[in-house]
Amino acid sequence: MSDRNVHKAGFTSAGIKRDSLASKMMSQEARASGGGVLSGGPTATLQEKGATGSTHSSGFTSSGISAGSKAAEMMSREAKSHGGEIPRGSTTATCQSI
């Protein structure tokens, strides 16, 4: 996951860009959770990365998730809470795809 891709998706230091992939994700996530965006969810996580420009060291790479990284910890926690799998649309899956 590169800073460029996160910003291109609409997650920026100024907030979520209107009419972007980010705004669509935020809308879908809010509808699915009853009106709000969950802390630690895909939208919040990507917006934090976009606002701080810190994606380069998180462990999401074009070759997969780096062992021992923050991304690997996130993936492990998520897999444990979902019976050993990473669900489609989850925080880890979304961050890795971007």
Length of the chain equals 98
pLDDT higher than 60, residue 1? no
pLDDT tens for 17-61 read: 999 988 988 998 888 888 888 887 788 888 887 787 766 667 778
Global model pTM greater than 0.85: no
What tokens does 64 get? 């997969």
- Among 68, 36, 55, 52, which Cα is nearest to 94's? 55
* Whether residue 63 has pLDDT greater than 60: yes
DSSP states of 65-77: EPTTSHHHHHHHH
What single string gives the DSSP state of each residue in 32-53? HTTSSPPTTSHHHHHHHHHHHT
